[in-house]
């Protein structure tokens, strides 16, 4: 039986551990933090339970498939409820729109904003379906050679759908108002990309979101992590937490194990890193062994954005709120340019607002709510002084809450925590404090061009998670564990 060390117990590390243990490998997961989950972690204090990272679960099938692959049924172990609408979108002028996944209700909402839009909306969704099919062709596979990209049918569809065009510009062909253009392009932010820079291909996420719908696991996203940890224990995976890896040991050119902080050495036949790929190469693999990813090459890559998060416990319930909401600033472009181009503090930040207690009151004491506010921010390649900036952003977010939800909200805050860009760096070793994932999804950092899940210069070293393909976001990370398992089945069994 071959042994595998997985560095990191993020969703990707856990999913890989379950699959590999099921395939007959002896798996040990070594996690730096006290608790598994990585970016999908949780705060539990004073009767409040808050997911600190991801809250939007689309493409749930990727989780279902992970469980099926190991002979389990996720839906028997974790209770899911559908969210409809997926989001409420608030605009600067007080208007709002609910993005339902019932098409008739969605069309009625869009007509309020842009009369006569229904036919164009349905055409947009139809085009999204084609891009989804095309995109999945590139996403759900391992790459070894550039010729793996060659696919005449896909090339024809790329041209037919204009998937290579600019996302925001293409949305402009379907929607006349800025309001609907914003509502149907913001999804690229999930991949760390501004809709003004992203490929139109990424409207496939909008399609998946609208048509497949959004699911909420009772107890929050962390209840999935808890279940994966429980399953790992039942299956015999060894999980060590509070154990930072300091070096990947290489012997005769091959990865042979890891050295932990404190000096302990753990050996294995195969090492898989779920820690950020850029961080892994730079900090855990001695430079003398790195032919393919030198520091200079890694420094030149494009990095995704970060975020400022405010978590509030309030002694009030807000039945008029939706579970998920987004606020778009008036000058959306200036907001996105500040985050992605000038890497400065946005003057009027757009933000995501999550009130999971609408669906799941168990997350707070009776009569209380949890409010999660996430404002995308530049990563630490910019020069923002976060000690000065954090109180300013907090104030903007509270003003937003006062405007959109409750003018008295401050009086009701009984518990509060925040997360700044540097916290992602300190807690999970995210380069430049990137939030959603490190390498953004421009064309040359996607599919074949994204770092592969195998280090060809260091036999025995593999990757899983957002740093390798397919990329950023929970569903992609679930797929990355499947691709890793397929690769190891071919190369190591
Ligand atoms: C604020 C925020 C909101 C998000 N919202 C969404 C959303 O709504 N929907 C969605 O799908 N996605 C969302 N994402 C993205 C999603 O959370 C990530 O893409 C995904 O969880 C990444 O999983 P992963 O397994 O690749 O790695 P990670 O979660 O990054 O896990 C890596 C693990 O490696 C560990 N590690 C690092 N270095 C070492 C070391 N030296 N030794 C041992 N362990 C180490 C870390 O501690 C961590 O536990 C969000 C992310 C954030 C931060």
In a domain, 52, yes or no: no
Residues 355 and 468 in one domain: no
Share of the chain above pLDDT 70, in %: 100
Q: Tokens standing for 391? A: 């109180």
pLDDT tens digit sequence for 390-415:
999 999 999 999 999 999 999 999 99
Cβ of 437 below 6 Å from ligand 1:
yes
> In ligand 1, which atom is closest to the CA atom of 55?
8
In a domain, 161, yes or no: yes
Residues 274 and 328 in one domain: no
Residue 152 has pLDDT above 80, yes or no: no
**What domain count does the chain have?**
3
CA 407 / ligand 1 centre spacing (Å): 34
Residues 163 and 257 in one domain: no
Instruction: Tell me the three state secondary structure of residue 474.
Output: helix
- The pLDDT of residue 420 is 98
Residues 352 and 248 in one domain: no
Dump strand ranges (E) for 426-467: 461-463
Count CB-CB contacts under 10 A for residue 408: 9
Cβ of 431 below 6 Å from ligand 1:
no
CA 238 / ligand 1 centre spacing (Å): 20
pLDDT tens digit sequence for 371-385:
999 999 999 999 999
Quote the pTM value.
Answer: 0.96
Residues 30 and 87 in one domain: no
- Rounded Cα distance between 445 and 388, Å, is 33
CATH of the domain at 289: 3.50.50.60
Residues 91 and 167 in one domain: yes
- The pLDDT of residue 412 is 98
Over residues 85-96, the mean pLDDT reads 94
In a domain, 143, yes or no: yes
Instruction: Tell me the three state secondary structure of residue 180.
Output: helix
Cβ of 239 below 6 Å from ligand 1:
no
In this structure, which residue's CA is closest to atom 48 in ligand 1? 38
Cβ of 7 below 6 Å from ligand 1:
yes
The model's confidence at residue 134, banded by pLDDT at 50, 70 and 90, is confident
Residues 162 and 183 in one domain: yes
- Rounded Cα distance between 364 and 37, Å, is 21
Over residues 340-349, the mean pLDDT reads 95
Report the interhelical angle of 11-23 vs 222-235 (nearest 10°).
Answer: 30
The model's confidence at residue 439, banded by pLDDT at 50, 70 and 90, is very high
In this structure, which residue's CA is closest to atom 10 in ligand 1? 473
Residues 86 and 210 in one domain: yes
Do 7 and 258 meet the contact criterion of CB atoms below 8 Å apart? yes
In a domain, 49, yes or no: no
In terms of residues, how long is the chain?
493
Q: Which of 215, 249, 268 is the last residue of a domain?
A: 215
Cβ of 421 below 6 Å from ligand 1:
no
- Rounded Cα distance between 185 and 201, Å, is 11
Mutate to test the pocket of ligand 1, among 240, 275, 308, 325 (most ligand atoms within 8 A of CB): 275
Instruction: Tell me the three state secondary structure of residue 194.
Output: coil
> In ligand 1, which atom is closest to the CA atom of 243?
43
Q: Are strands 3-7 and 270-273 parallel, antiparallel or unpaired?
A: parallel
Residue 14 has pLDDT above 90, yes or no: yes
- Rounded Cα distance between 401 and 356, Å, is 15
In a domain, 53, yes or no: no
In this structure, which residue's CA is closest to atom 26 in ligand 1? 465
Cβ of 441 below 6 Å from ligand 1:
no
- Rounded Cα distance between 232 and 479, Å, is 18
Residue 145 has pLDDT above 90, yes or no: no
Q: Tokens standing for 343? A: 């890497």
pLDDT tens digit sequence for 26-73:
999 999 999 999 999 999 999 999 999 999 999 999 999 999 999 999
Which position has the token pair 């809709």?
A: 195
Q: Which of 185, 215, 245 is the last residue of a domain?
A: 215
Count CB-CB contacts under 10 A for residue 146: 9
Domain range for 309:
305-427
In a domain, 245, yes or no: yes
- The pLDDT of residue 228 is 98
- The pLDDT of residue 492 is 86
Do 20 and 488 meet the contact criterion of CB atoms below 8 Å apart? yes
Residue 13 has pLDDT above 80, yes or no: yes
Tell me, rounded to whole angstroms, the distance of Cα 419 from its chain centroid: 16
Residues 318 and 406 in one domain: yes
Residue 201 has pLDDT above 80, yes or no: yes
> In ligand 1, which atom is closest to the CA atom of 41?
29
Instruction: Name which of 208-217, 320-329, 456-465 the model is least confident about.
Output: 208-217
In a domain, 198, yes or no: yes
In a domain, 360, yes or no: yes
- The pLDDT of residue 155 is 80
CA distances (Å), origin 80, targets 172, 224, 296, 394: 35, 10, 45, 32
CATH of the domain at 396: 3.30.519
Cβ of 217 below 6 Å from ligand 1:
no
- The pLDDT of residue 167 is 94
Q: Are strands 87-91 and 96-99 parallel, antiparallel or unpaired?
A: antiparallel
- Rounded Cα distance between 193 and 199, Å, is 9
Residues 296 and 376 in one domain: no
Residues 120 and 182 in one domain: yes
Do 315 and 368 meet the contact criterion of CB atoms below 8 Å apart? yes
Q: Which of 427, 453, 468 is the last residue of a domain?
A: 427
DSSP state of 369: E
Report the interhelical angle of 11-23 vs 61-69 (nearest 10°).
Answer: 30
Residues 255 and 370 in one domain: no
């Amino acid at each position: 039986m071959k042994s595998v060390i997985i560095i990191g117990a993020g969703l990707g590390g856990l999913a890989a551990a379950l699959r590999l243990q099921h395939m007959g490998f002896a798996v040990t997961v070594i996690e730096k933090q006290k608790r598994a989950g990585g970016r999908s972690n949780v705060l539990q204090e004073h009767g409040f339970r808050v997911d600190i990272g991801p809250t939007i679960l689309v493409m749930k099938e990727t989780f279902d498939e992970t469980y099926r692959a190991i002979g389990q049924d996720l839906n028997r172990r974790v209770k899911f409820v559908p969210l409809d609408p997926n989001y409420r979108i608030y605009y600067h002028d007080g208007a709002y729109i609910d993005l339902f996944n019932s098409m008739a209700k969605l069309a009625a909402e869009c007509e309020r904003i842009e009369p006569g839009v229904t036919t164009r909306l349905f055409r947009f969704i139809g085009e999204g379906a084609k891009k989804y099919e095309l995109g999945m062709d590139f996403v759900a596979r391992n790459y070894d050679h550039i010729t793996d990209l060659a696919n005449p049918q896909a090339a024809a569809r790329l041209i037919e759908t204009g998937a290579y065009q600019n996302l925001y510009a293409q949305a402009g062909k379907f929607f006349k108002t800025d309001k609907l253009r914003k509502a149907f392009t913001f999804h690229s932010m999930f991949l760390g990309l501004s809709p003004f820079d992203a490929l139109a291909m990424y409207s496939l996420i909008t399609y998946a979101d609208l048509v497949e719908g959004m699911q909420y696991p009772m107890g929050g996203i962390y209840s999935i992590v808890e279940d994966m940890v429980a399953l790992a224990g039942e299956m015999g995976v060894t999980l060590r937490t509070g154990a930072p890896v300091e070096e990947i040991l290489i012997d005769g050119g091959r990865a042979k194990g890891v050295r932990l902080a404190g000096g302990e050495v753990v050996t294995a036949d195969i090492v898989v890193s779920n820690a950020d790929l850029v961080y892994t190469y730079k900090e855990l693999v001695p430079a003398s062994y790195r032919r393919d990813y030198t520091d200079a090459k890694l420094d030149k890559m494009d990095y995704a954005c970060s975020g400022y998060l405010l978590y509030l416990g309030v002694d009030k319930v807000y039945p008029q709120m939706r579970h998920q909401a987004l606020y778009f600033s008036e000058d959306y472009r200036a907001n996105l340019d500040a985050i992605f181009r000038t890497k400065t503090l946005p003057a009027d930040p757009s933000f995501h607002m999550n009130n999971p207690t609408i669906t799941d009151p168990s997350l707070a004491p009776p009569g209380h709510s949890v409010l999660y506010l996430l404002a995308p921010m530049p990563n630490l390649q910019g020069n923002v002084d976060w000690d000065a900036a954090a109180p300013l952003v907090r104030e903007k977010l509270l003003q937003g809450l006062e405007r959109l939800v409750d003018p008295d909200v401050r009086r009701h805050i009984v518990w509060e925590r925040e997360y700044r860009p540097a916290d992602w760096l300190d807690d999970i070793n995210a380069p430049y404090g990137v939030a959603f994932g490190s390498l953004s999804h421009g064309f040359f950092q996607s599919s074949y061009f994204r770092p592969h899940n195998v280090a060809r210069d260091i036999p025995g070293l593999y990757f899983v998670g957002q740093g390798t393909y397919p990329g950023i976001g929970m569903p992609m990370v679930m797929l990355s564990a499947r691709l890793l398992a397929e690769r190891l089945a071919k190369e190591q069994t």
